[in-house]
Every structure is written in C-alpha cells, then in structure tokens.
C-alpha cells in the first residue's frame, strides 16, 4: 500500500504540472513551494498542523465508516451539526471553568454529529436503503440549517453579521504554542486517532468491524451481528465528524459561521482513501494535505499560482489513488484465479458470489495481502428479491 500511495502522489504531481505551467510557473519550484516550504519556518509549520486538525478528525471518521463497508459521505453535515452544538453550548455556559465546558462541548459535538448520522444509518440497516445518497443529501440540509440559524435567531446582535455571538472565554480550546493558532483540538484529534487505531487493530469490536467490511456474508456466517456493527460504525463516524466541528468552533472561529468548513467532510474522503483506511495512514495523509493547503496559499503569494490549485491537486490525488487501487485489485484477483479456482467454483455454487469472496478467504489465510477496501461484497441495495439466499441465511 505505501508504494501505491507514493506512485499516486508522483502521478498526481506529474498531472498537475499542466495547470502549473499554465500559470506560468516552473513545476519544480511549485512543488517545493507546495510541499517543502511550509515545513521550513516555525509559523508555517504550526499552520500545517492547524490545517491538518479538521482533516485528522474527518479522515478518521470517514476511514472508520468505510472500513466497515458503510459509505458515509455525510461527514460534512455531521461536522456542521457538531459545530452548531458546540457554539450553542459555548454561548450559554457563562463563567463555568474550561474543565467543565470543554468536555461538555466535545460531548455535545459528538452527540450532534452522531444524531445527524443516525437516520441514514437506521435506514441502511433496517431497510437496506443505500446510505451514499441519504448521507450526501443531508449535507446541504445541514448547511441550510446553519444558515437559517445565522440569518435568524443566532444572528450577532452587535455586528448584525450572519455570525453567532462569540462563545464564552471558558469555552475556547487552549492555545498550544505562543504566537500561533495551534489549539487543543490537534491533541484531541491525535488522541482520537490513536484510540481508533487501538480499537480497530486490537479489540474484538475492531475485528468485527473489519470483518463486516471485508465480507458481510462471511462475517454473518461467523456469528457477527453485521447490522449492529454497521450502525455502531456509522454513529462513531458521525460523532468524530461532529467533534471536528466542535474543534473548529472552539479552537479557530470562536463562533458559528457559514464558512466554518472548507469542505473538510469531503476532504476527509480524500484523506481516508489516501491513508488506505488505516489510522496511521489517515494521520500521515491528513498532515500531507495540511501541508498542501498551507503550501497552496504560500505558492499563491510567491509564484502567483492561484491557491485554488490545492483543490485541483486534492481531487486529482483522490481519483488517481482510487484508480490505482482498482487496477491493483483487478490484477490481484486475476492472479488469484488459478490458485483459488476450486474454492471459487465451490463458493460460486453455494452463494452465487463472485470470485473476490474467495480471494478474501485466501487473504485471511495469510497467503496474500489485500488492502482493507470493502468493495465487491457490498450488500445488494435492491434487497433480496431475485437473488439466491446466502449460505448463512439458509443454514439458520
């Protein structure tokens, strides 16, 4: 997997040389400005960590959900709801000490994010309604909700701008380093990533989640309650995205604003994909994209390359990575075919499943390494009609 990411990054940089040349800059200078320069001064280095903070949260949120085979595209909306909850709590706590208010706001953000994730998750596990569309459609609804609050009840009475009043001083996340914007949210994000890594890699709950993602049929056969696992993954994912919103409100903006999230929920998908859905990977990918974000604005000043190139690089990187992953999977399953021939035929007769299920079985026996992308074993959103019953069901 690391090799694949390196190839993806190189390929992306080659592809984006076109737009850089179009802007009249030397691509090599531009790469230096994008990737290296931000790390060379104290201020910009800390800004990289600031820019990575929301991406660490959303990357982890998306990564956990995708790992379980739950396609949460709604981190953006869950983040906004977390921000609303945090701003609401921050406005009413008054003189309470930070030791009380901050945990309260984290909890509020998590509950709000998980709550926003609840309906699509329930629809998915109860009625098998495809969560991609429902989670996606709730993003604009969340943005409208925020705008409604800011145009109406929460409009700042002092300035009259569509921004909420400032949160109480005790509700602000502490500054970590003098003369920088780096705040406690960064530490919180790292803690959450470490915790998520531990749970995924070292606990039965994590094993169940990964099993449900790799092959729901096999997981069910092994006695795992797949719907329940999916529901939990979806809620945890929403909660972490909600905390991202809390972190932006309490660490950067100190109020609710309409432009609070620069698409962090969507960038989380880039982070999770680039990080191969593993928590250490997510951490590196978030730092990398944070570097790129800071680099994009410094390249804008130094080389007159519009900073919007950052988004072009992000999009290209996502497409290249997902394309390379698909290419590798195709090659792998072809390579597996002769070896797994008999198993595959047997599996096909029993379950009507395609070959990769057999490939997964072999992988788990330790003969082959495949990344954790749940893809082919996605449950059929059309429901069960016209489909032979799976082995696990008929045996019960």
Binding site for another protein (CB under 8 A): 19, 22-23, 71, 73, 119-120, 123, 126-130, 132-134, 136-141, 143-145, 147-148, 151-152, 263, 266-267, 269-270, 273, 306, 308-316, 318-319, 322-323, 325-327, 329-330, 354-355, 373, 375, 378, 381-383
CB of 377 to another protein, least distance (A): 11
CA dist., res. 374 & res. 214, Å (int) = 5
| Min dist. Cβ of residue 67 to another protein (A) | 13
**Rounded Cα–Cα distance for residues 334 and 323 (Å):** 17
Q: In this complex, which beta carbon is closest to another protein, that of residue 103 or of residue 140? A: 140
**How far apart are alpha carbons 396 and 393 in whole angstroms?**
6
* Minimum distance of another protein from residue 62's CB (angstroms): 10
Min separation Cβ 216 and another protein, Å: 15
The DSSP 8-state label assigned to residue 169 in this structure reads G
Q: Which is nearer to another protein, 66 or 186 (CB)?
A: 66
CB of 110 to another protein, least distance (A): 23
The residue behind tokens 């009043």 is 165
Please, which residue, 143 or 205, has the CB nearer to another protein? 143
- Cβ pair 151, 161 in contact under 8 A: no
Q: Which two tokens stand for residue 239?
A: 């909660």
* Residues with Cβ within 8 Å of residue 278, at least 6 apart in sequence: 1, 63, 197, 200, 372
Nearer to another protein, 32 or 300 (CB): 300
Minimum distance of another protein from residue 171's CB (angstroms): 26
What are the tokens at 265? 């929920």
Q: How far is the CA of 186 from the CAs of 78, 174, 227, 287, 314, in angstroms? A: 19, 11, 32, 11, 21
Nearer to another protein among residue 11 and residue 136 (C-beta):
136
Closer to another protein by Cβ: residue 78 or 273: 273
Cβ atoms 165, 256 nearer than 8 A: no
**Of the two residues 102 and 260, which places its CB atom closer to another protein in the complex?**
260
Alpha carbon distance 321, 373 (integer Å): 12
Q: Shortest approach of another protein to residue 61 CB, angstroms?
A: 15
116-133 CB burial, b ≥16 within 10 A, e <16: bbeebbbebbeeeebbee
């Amino acid at each position: 997997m690391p090799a694949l990411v390196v190839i993806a990054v190189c390929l992306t940089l080659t592809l984006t040389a076109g737009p850089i040349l179009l802007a009249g800059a030397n691509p090599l200078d531009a790469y230096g400005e994008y990737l290296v320069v931000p790390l060379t001064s104290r201020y910009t280095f800390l800004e990289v960590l600031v820019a990575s903070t929301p991406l660490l949260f959303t990357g982890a949120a998306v990564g956990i959900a995708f790992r379980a085979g739950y396609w949460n595209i709604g981190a953006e909306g869950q983040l906004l709801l977390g921000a609303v909850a945090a701003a609401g709590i921050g406005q009413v706590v008054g003189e309470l000490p930070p030791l009380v208010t901050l945990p309260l706001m984290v909890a509020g953000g998590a509950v709000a994010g998980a709550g926003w994730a609840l309906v699509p998750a329930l629809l998915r596990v109860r009625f098998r309604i495809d969560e991609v569309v429902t989670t996606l459609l709730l993003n604009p609804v969340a943005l409208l909700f925020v705008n409604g609050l800011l145009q109406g009840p929460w409009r700042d009475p002092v300035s009259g701008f569509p921004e909420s009043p400032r949160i109480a001083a005790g509700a602000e996340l502490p500054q970590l380093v003098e003369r920088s914007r780096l705040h406690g949210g960064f530490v919180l994000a790292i803690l959450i990533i470490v915790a998520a890594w531990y749970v995924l890699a070292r606990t039965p709950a994590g094993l169940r989640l990964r099993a449900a993602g790799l092959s729901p049929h096999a997981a069910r056969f092994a006695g795992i309650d797949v719907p329940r696992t999916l529901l939990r993954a979806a809620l945890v994912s929403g909660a972490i995205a909600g905390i991202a919103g809390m972190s932006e409100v309490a660490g950067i903006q100190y109020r609710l604003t309409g432009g609070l999230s620069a698409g962090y929920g969507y960038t989380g998908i880039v982070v999770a994909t680039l990080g191969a859905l593993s928590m250490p990977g997510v951490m590196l990918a978030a730092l990398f994209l944070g570097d790129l974000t800071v680099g994009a604005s410094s390249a804008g000043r130094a080389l007159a390359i519009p900073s919007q190139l950052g988004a072009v690089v992000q999009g290209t990187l996502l497409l290249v990575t997902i394309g390379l992953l698909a290419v590798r999977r195709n090659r792998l399953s072809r390579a597996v075919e002769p070896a797994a021939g008999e198993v595959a035929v047997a599996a096909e007769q029993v379950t009507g499943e395609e070959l990769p299920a057999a490939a997964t079985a072999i992988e788990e026996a330790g003969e082959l390494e495949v990344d954790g992308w749940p893809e082919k074993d996605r449950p059929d959103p059309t429901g069960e009609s016209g489909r032979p019953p799976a082995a696990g069901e008929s045996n019960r």
